Amino acid sequence: MQLPELFEEKMKKLLGTEYEDFLAGYEKERHQALRVNPAKISAEEFLRISPFTLEPVPWAKNGFYYGTEDRPGRHPWHEAGVYYIQEPSAMSVAELAGVQPGDRVLDLCAAPGGKSTQLAAAMEGKGLLVSNEIHPARAKILSSNIERMGILNAVVTNEAPERLAPHFPAFFDRIVVDAPCSGEGMFRKEEQAVSQWSQDNVDLCAKRQQDILEEAAKMLRPGGVLVYSTCTFAPEEDEESIVRFLLKHPEFSVKKTEAYEGFAPGRPEWVKLTDEEKESVSVERLEAVLASVKDTFRLWPHKLNGEGHYAAVLEKADGNQGEELSTLRIEKTERKNRKNGKSSGKSGVVSAEAEAWKLYREFAADTLVHGHEGIPMLYGEQLYLLPCELNLEGLRVLRPGLHLGTVKKNRFEPAHALALALKAEDVKRSVSYGSDSREIRAWLSGESLEGSDGRGWTLVQTDGFSLGWGKQAGGILKNHYPKGLRKQ
């Protein structure tokens, strides 16, 4: 593989005698992995029924390497959100975040959704996940992955960090900043990262990372945890980003976290600071900050089975004031939401929402055995269930919680997202076809199937995993699989 010359020189200088091992890493076979979605199936059960050759990823609870011959992306289970295909090293980040059910979590740079879907799995549907992506097209992909994995409690936004921050002061328990970076660790995976590499870009990324971290810091509650990660080897974007941030933020420190097998410590000796930066704090503090960087993590492809990654777990000092501020704020937004009747603020919106809820309830009475909990919210014709009261006014929101469906002239059409969040035992009518059946191939390409005598909305599944809605009438199961997802 042809690496950029300047990059090679730089790594040689940094790594010294280890450089040859590092280079040899590029000759190693690339490892591919998937992460089982516990909302759909346990890892144990998946191992029992899976057609793939699986080996556990040591640092990820539900992560497995799959065999070179396996094509999990082409299996209908992929469309049913049974697993998420993810680069194995990337699975370390959400694990390090130590998220618990009920937490308020922000994934600030979230597309296409690897970390968000992993954080959601740890949350078990409880609490709030705000999954944000700055690029509109990438935010759409993120939103569809959130949908595919059947996540109940995620709000997907398409915002710049500085526009998000004023909405969520000291609000989140955990924040993941999986920063845009120069991607040196992905050279084997993405050729574009090689062709676009330059030292200027490394410096540009480092500057951008500081800006993003600044905004993230504002949104983390005292006592909260911030995980910062990149997929690059460049110290400017890794240890140096962390040291720069810590020097400016004495309320933050590196949280000592147990390293997983194969993880290497961060390298304080690679940090280059300006004189001004060095003089901005006492000598003792500077030394302490630099030393703490040893407790951050480098994932090297020549030391483990995965691509290059860096991760730092930071902790914000505790204090009571932030806690109170954040609680007060939620009470305020609750009242505001109720009064304004959500998005448009036009008169009649609240009654339109009540009407939409009534139509949903009629649908639910006919179709569901168990519904979901949440706060109904109508955006135009789309009805959602918010995981908690939130003021999202003024933000670009793609998915304010679980999409229940669309209100169409006095009838309710259930959303694809709702189907993916339901199991057979949650509904009154379901059909399941084998993943290798003719019916499933036909279904995924948009064809309707032969139905039964019944009538109404029916959950269509493959091997017992929900794939979407069909509607029974006149002996036909009409296909409601979204047009944009159909396979030719």
Ligand X SMILES: C[S@@+](CC[C@H](N)C(=O)[O-])C[C@H]1O[C@@H](n2cnc3c(N)ncnc32)[C@H](O)[C@@H]1O
Query: What residues act catalytically?
Result: 231
H helices of 249-348, where?
Answer: 275-279, 283-292, 320-340
Contact 154, 146 (CB under 8 A): yes
| Residues counted in the chain | 488
113 is known to lie in a ligand binding site: yes
Q: DSSP letters along 159-204, please?
A: --HHHHGGGSTT-EEEEEEE-----GGGTTT-HHHHHT--HHHHHH
Q: Of these, 97, 110, 123, 165, which contacts ligand X (CB under 6 A)?
A: 110
Please count the helices (runs of H) and the strands (runs of E) in the chain: 17, 23
Assess 138 for contact with ligand X (CB under 6 A). Answer: yes
Q: Which span sits near ligand X by CB under 6 A: 18-26, 109-117, 264-272, 462-470?
A: 109-117
Rounded least distance, CB 207 to ligand X, Å: 10
**DSSP class of residue 113?**
-
Smallest separation (angstroms) from ligand X to the CB of 297? 16
Q: How many angstroms separate the CA atoms of 483 and 488, rounded? A: 11
CA distance 96 to 108: 16
Q: Is 109 in the site for ligand X (CB under 6 A)?
A: yes
- Residue 184 as a binder of ligand X (CB under 6 A): the answer is no
**Distance separating the N- and C-terminal Cα atoms of the chain:** 35
Closest among 315, 330, 389, 343 to 169, alpha carbons compared: 330
307 or 315: whose CB is closer to ligand X? 307
Taking Cα atoms as reference points, which of 50, 113, 44 lies closest to residue 84?
113
Window 67-96: residues binding ligand X (CB under 6 A):
90
Choose between 309 and 316: whose C-beta lies nearer to ligand X: 309
Residue 171 or 481: which CB sits closer to ligand X? 171
DSSP string, 35-49: EE-TTT--HHHHHHH
CA angle 55, 60, 65 (to 5 degrees): 25
Is 135 a binding residue for ligand X by CB under 6 A? The answer is yes
109 appears as a binding residue in the annotation? yes
- Find the shortest distance in angstroms from Cβ 275 to ligand X: 28
Task: Select the residue interacting with ligand X from 113, 266, 306, 308 (CB under 6 A).
Answer: 113
Q: Work out which of 163, 208, 248, 249 binds ligand X, going by CB under 6 A.
A: 208
Q: Which one among 79, 147, 178, 315 touches ligand X, defined by CB under 6 A?
A: 178
Q: Please choose, out of 130-138, 165-173, 264-272, 317-325, the segment that lies near ligand X by the rule CB under 6 A.
A: 130-138
Residue for token pair 């703490």: 292
Stretch that binds ligand X, among 104-112, 289-297, 310-318, 423-431 (CB under 6 A): 104-112
The answer to the question of whether 81 is labelled as a binding residue is no
Question: If DSSP codes are grouped into helix, strand and coil, which group holds residue 314?
Answer: strand
- Kindly indicate which of the ranges 134-142, 163-171, 252-260, 375-383 contains the residues binding ligand X, using the contact rule CB under 6 A: 134-142
112 is an interface residue for ligand X by CB under 6 A: yes
In terms of phi and psi (left: phi > 0; alpha: psi -120 to 50; beta: otherwise), the region of 403 is beta
d(CA 392, CA 407): 21
**Min. distance of Cβ 344 from ligand X in angstroms?**
28
Member of 97, 134, 155, 213 binding ligand X (CB under 6 A): 134
Q: Which two tokens stand for residue 333?
A: 């937004």
**Given 115, 148, 255, 471, the residue binding ligand X (CB under 6 A):** 115
Stretch that binds ligand X, among 113-121, 246-254, 403-411, 442-450 (CB under 6 A): 113-121
Exactly one of 63, 161, 266, 405 binds ligand X (CB under 6 A); which one?
161
Q: Would the annotation count 178 as a binding residue?
A: yes
Contacts 24+ apart (CB under 8 A), 345-354: 349/378, 352/378, 353/377, 353/378, 353/383
**Site residues (vs ligand X, CB under 6 A):** 90, 109-115, 133-135, 138, 161, 178, 180, 208, 212
Annotated binding-site residue numbers = 109-115, 133, 178
Annotated binding-site residue numbers for S-adenosyl-L-methionine = 109-115, 133, 178
